[in-house]
Amino acid sequence: MNYLKSFFKKGLVEFGDILDKKKCDEIYNKIVNSRDLSKNIFRSKKEYFKDPNPRKTNPGKEFNNLTEKFDLSFVEEHPVLKKNLELLLGKDYEIVMKNFVIGVPDSWLPEWLKKTTKKLLAPNLGAFIKKKYRDATYFRGIDFHMDLIDHPKLVGRNLTLYIYLNKVNNRMSPLQLIEKSHILGATKFPHYLKNNKKKTIQYSSDNKKFTKFTKKTFIGDRGNVYLWSSLILHGTNPQQSKTPRISLRYDFKPKRKNEKKNIYINKFLKKINGNLSMAVVRDDINLASKRMEQLKFNKILK
């Protein structure tokens, strides 16, 4: 299969369930057995208010990161994945970040959080998780966004590789990606979207001219692998199933010395009708308003 052709056309690749299912099962089971996900991962209300600061509550590279306790060579050395990453980014591409992502259903949330999370809680639940379990990322669902939101001022050469570690159905917050949405380039969050239907959605870079795009929902078995550009819009609905969806996410980029070389990711970027980077990646918050929103949230909880 010509995976590069799919990437150039859609901005994403569906590799299918190419990874060893047994190894996916082993990792999934070890994560689940390392903590009682449905009962003891959340801090109490009292613990939260002793330290409500949401900063540095997620795993980082070589910092409180559960992925570093696992042998992930079956992913990182997989011949198909490695070949296509090398073609896109150059042979000595680098891993910017890797982390486990765990979908959290509302039934897991403590009572003191349930009434407010739907309206005010950011999708990332790190500040509410006990410190010893912050070696993974926890979420309820997330609005459509592009991964360039993590990289202000950088050109959109980064790629996201995403792996399902267990079988994912419609109730397990499956990935939703908007095919070809990269063609509008780098746009700030929240994005101009409307008429969000089951298989299509309209997207605009300026809230004036809207274009209809295909929206794909990825239901898949463990070992399913997806790759997309940091300019592709994607998100998920809230987790409904009590069975947690646990996934492995990678952020890749070319080495700095290769950024201006004739690698495929640069050919891909030449086809984009818009900006390739953003100094400001989101309009919904700034440092002052983020602090005010946190204070507002804390007041409601009290």
Single-letter residue type at 185: G
The burial of 274, by beta-carbon neighbours within 10 Å (0-12 exposed, 13-18 middle, 19 or more buried), is given as middle
Backbone angles phi, psi at 230, to 5 degrees: -70, 0
What pTM did the predictor assign? 0.92
Band of the pLDDT at 54, cuts 50, 70, 90? confident
Lowest mean pLDDT among 33-37, 136-140, 242-246, 260-264: 260-264
The yes-or-no verdict on residue 289 having pLDDT over 50 is no
CA distance 168 to 12: 19
Count CB atoms within 10 A of the CB of residue 35. 18
pLDDT tens digits for range 230-288: 999 999 998 999 999 999 999 999 999 888 888 999 999 999 999 999 999 988 765 44
Domains of the chain and any CATH numbers:
3-301 (2.60.120.620)
Return the minimum-mean-pLDDT range out of 51-65, 119-133, 171-185.
119-133
HEC readout, 216-233: EEECECCCEEEEEECCCC
Residue 66, pLDDT above cutoff 80: yes
